[in-house]
Structure formats: C-alpha cells, structure tokens
Amino acid sequence: MIVGVLVGLVSLPFWLPKAVVALRNRIFTWINGPEGTRVEPAHFLAVYRNPAAAGRSRGAALSDLFWYWLAPGPHAHQEHIEPGERYTEVARTTRRILAAGHQDAPRLAAECVARVLDGLGDRPVTAVRLRDLMMPVWAEFYYELVFGRRCPPEARDLVVGNANDVASALKCTSLRHMRSRERLTRYLLAHLAEVPHALPPSLSAEDKAFYLQGAFFNTAVVQTSEGMAHLLMALARHPAVQARVRAEPDYLGPVMEESLRLYPLFGIAHRITVADLTVEELSIPRGSVVLFDYPSFHRSGFPHADRFEPDRWTGLSTSDVNHVPFGVPQNRACPARGLVPVVMRVVTAEVLRRFEVCSTATHTRSMPNRGPALLVRSGHRPTVRLGLMRVSDFLADVPRGVTQLVLGTYMVWDARRKRLCQKYFEAGGV
Ligand code: HEM
C-alpha cells in the first residue's frame, strides 16, 4: 500500500500534466458545449480563404471566451470587429501606424532591446524567463510606434502589466486582473490627443483607447514577446543551431521559420460562415463555426514534423508548404507580418551578441513556464544550474497543471456567464 502511494507520488510529474490537459479539454467542452467544425489540413487553405468564412465574432459561443480574455473593450479590438465600414477604418489605421514606423523600426528595436539588456547588470550568468525578458522590449517599441516618442517608465509598467495579465489568463496560469488592465485604458484615454496618427474617426474617444490597447498593447506586445520567447528558447535548447546563427547570421531566417512552424502563436483561429460554403466534397452550412488548427496544419506534409530542423527550409519556399504563421492574406491576415520578422531578427542578434542563451526546461507551444533560460556571458559553463533547471521545471509542471485546470475551468464558466460578445450584439452592436 505504502509502496503504491510512493510510486504514485514519484510518478506524478510523468503523467499528471498530460492528464490535466485532457481533463481540462473535457471540462471546457462540457461547459462551453461542443462547437465548431475543425477543418482538416487538406481543406484548410481553401476554407480559410473562402469569402464565406468571413464572420468574426457574432454567433459563436467561443467568441464570448476570447472577448473575456482580451477585455476591456473587445468590441473595438480589430481582431473581433465584424467585416464592414468600422473594420475597414480600424484595419487601415493599424496599417498606417505600422507603415509609418517601418523604416525606423530596426533602429528602434535595437535601442529598446539594448536598454532592457543593459538593465540586467554584468553578472556572468543571469536566470530569466524569456517571455518576461521580452515584454518590456516590445512595450517600449510599440509605445514609440504609436506615440512617436520614447516610452516613459510609468507607461512601460502599465503596458507590461496589461500584456502579462492577458497572456497569463489566456494560458490559464492566472485569473484576469481587470483593474490593472483598466489603468492602461485610463492612461491611453488621457493621452489620446498626443497620438500623432489619425485614429478611426467613427470611434468614440473611449473606443479609440480600447482599439489602441487591443491591437498594439495586447496583441502586438503579447505576440511579439511570445514569438521571441519561442525563437530564443529554440536556440537555447539547440546549442549547435545557436552557434551556427552566430557564425552565419543569415541562418536566422530558416531558424525563425522553423520556430514559427513548430510553435505557431495561434492554436486555433475561428470564423463564422456568412453563407453556405462548399469546397470539393466538404459542405459547411451558413452560420457554422469553423476552426483552423494551426499546429496540426503546420505539421502535416513535413517529414519528422515534431522535430526542430531549420535545415528543412533549405530550397523550400514557404508558399509551397503548409505554413501560415501570420494567417492567410485573403482573410484578415496579421497586419504586422512584414514588420515582425525584421525586428525579431534585430533583437535576436543583439541578445546573441551579448550572451549565450541556455535552457533545459520544457518547450511547448503554449509555454506556460514562460521560457526559463540562463543568459551566459562567454567563458562560463553553468552545468549545475542547468541540471537544477531541468528538475525544477519538471516538478513545477504538476502544480502548474492543477492551477491551469482550476483557473481555466473558472474562467470558461465566468465567460459563459458574462456572455460579453452575445450581449453586445443583442444590444444592437455592429
Ligand atoms: C510573432 C508575431 C506575430 C504573429 C506570429 C502573429 C500572427 C497572427 C495571425 C496568425 C493572425 C490571424 C489570425 C486569424 O486568422 O484569426 C494575426 C492577426 C492579427 N495580428 Fe498578428 N501576429 C504577430 C504580431 C502582431 C503584431 C506586432 C501586431 C501589431 C499590431 C499584430 C496585430 C494583429 C491584428 C490586429 C490581427 C487581426 C487582423 C484582422 O482581423 O484584421 N500581430 N496575427
């Protein structure tokens, strides 16, 4: 009996996290109801590009969950606005702000990362969480893109607090803290007149603040920080690849594609069909929720798809394979797809110029551990710390998995209760 209990306890880290994920999915489906048609890789592009797959928020219970996670002001967040005049205006504004900063972006990204790395001091080995390391870099970067001036520390703390809260709630490692998010909304509202770009004229002042918060201080900061955390984590876990990037900077191109392929930032994107949709033998009626599973699409058609192999990109064009890390251009693709790879390169080069990045922690797509890593100055070999990192990360998986299960269940239930998206449309929202 005692032996059985001991074996159970010791083996917990091996099976509990997986069991918790499976249980979480079952509980989410139970609360939320089964919803949506998952589009197989064979039809993924044809359905995603189809004009009938144009609905964004209205009519999907799933939208209540995303509106909850990305609040406040999800109705003014570009990602959630239904196609129409308001969407066109908002999308045009985002493109303009990104385009205005494009030329200067590499210099700006270099300055932002240098400031954050300078602040780490000169210890031979510094333990970091890569997502946390990157958030202030991108908070300062996008602030300067939007406001056209250097980010004051007060604003940087508000943006990082907001982005961190959104990312942690999305991964169910923490609940939402609306007061902290609303502090950023108030800051943006108070400083709206200082934004040098024309903002969508049909939006109220409050909705303009929500729009900026959603597109630039949630999505942009969270996504670029996560994308960078994955890229640096992949380099940290593959020292030979890291050494090659140092010797051949152009090799970062295939490494970045491989990181985006294996760790796409979107798990599942959804759309609601606005007309009957037929693709080959597949028929999807109007009003259906269609689900695009990025990880499975990015794996189909690649040999050894679960391995991190940047060399697979040699002689391969991204348009010939199942690879859409920024979405499909015909259906609301990411407006930052031109800018992001350029600035991610600059920031990676600066980190690698100063440090060797090492990690023995697990690297999964949702990265609930926020990417534990050591930044090592040359000449040091932190073997013991790397060994300890592996053990502590492995053990932390158990309480983290249980926390995700409890908090995730609560948030899905709370989102279902609040019905933010449904109520907005019932009240005549467009
Ligand atoms: C590594 C970084 C990033 C990745 C991998 C990424 C990926 C994506 C993907 C896959 C989509 C399409 C989702 C769908 O079809 O539903 C998307 C949409 C979007 N992204 Fe990004 N993104 C990144 C960074 C950014 C940045 C820096 C911004 C800055 C404004 C941004 C703003 C948006 C917006 C506003 C949308 C919604 C587009 C629309 O519905 O019109 N993203 N992103």
Distance CA 413, CA 362 (A): 29
Instruction: Pick the range with the lowest mean pLDDT from 15-19, 96-100, 111-115, 211-215.
Output: 15-19
Report whether residue 332 contacts ligand 1, using a CB cutoff of 6 Å. yes
Residue 34 has pLDDT above 70, yes or no: no
Q: Is the CB of 220 under 6 A from ligand 1?
A: yes
Least confident of 12-26, 36-50, 412-426: 12-26
Q: How many CA atoms within 13 Å lie on the side-chain side of 111?
A: 13
Average pLDDT (290-314) is: 96
| Contact yes or no for 412/27 (Cβ under 8 A) | yes
| Averaged pLDDT for residues 163-171 | 97
Q: Which of 334, 339, 367 maximizes ligand 1 atoms within 8 Å of its Cβ, making it the mutation to test the pocket?
A: 334
Question: Whole-model pTM?
Answer: 0.95
Whether 336 lines ligand 1, by a CB cut-off of 6 Å, is yes
pLDDT in tens, 64-73: 999 999 999 9
Q: What percent of the chain has pLDDT over 70?
A: 97
Residue-level pLDDT at 293: 94
Residue 30 pLDDT > 70, yes or no? no
Spacing, Cα 88 to ligand 1 middle (Å): 16
264 lines ligand 1 (CB under 6 A): no
C-beta of 294 in contact with ligand 1 (< 6 A): no
pLDDT at 191: 98
Closest of 391, 94, 340, 375 to residue 226, by C-alpha: 340
For residue range 414-426, what is the model confidence (pLDDT) as tens digits? 999 999 999 999 9
Q: What is the pLDDT of residue 28?
A: 61
Pocket lining: 168 vs ligand 1, CB cutoff 6 Å: no
The residue-averaged pLDDT of 230-250 equals: 97
Atom of ligand 1 nearest to the CA of 324: 10
Ligand 1 pocket check for 200: Cβ under 6 Å: no
For residue 341, say if its preceding peptide bond is cis, omega within 30 degrees of 0.
no
Using 50, 70 and 90 to split pLDDT, how confident is the model at 32?
low
Tokens of 337: 């797809």
Q: What's the chain's average pLDDT?
A: 94
Protein residue with its CA nearest to atom 7 in ligand 1: 326
Amino acid at 257: E
Q: State how far the Cα of 145 lies from the Cα of 71, in Å rounded to an integer.
A: 22
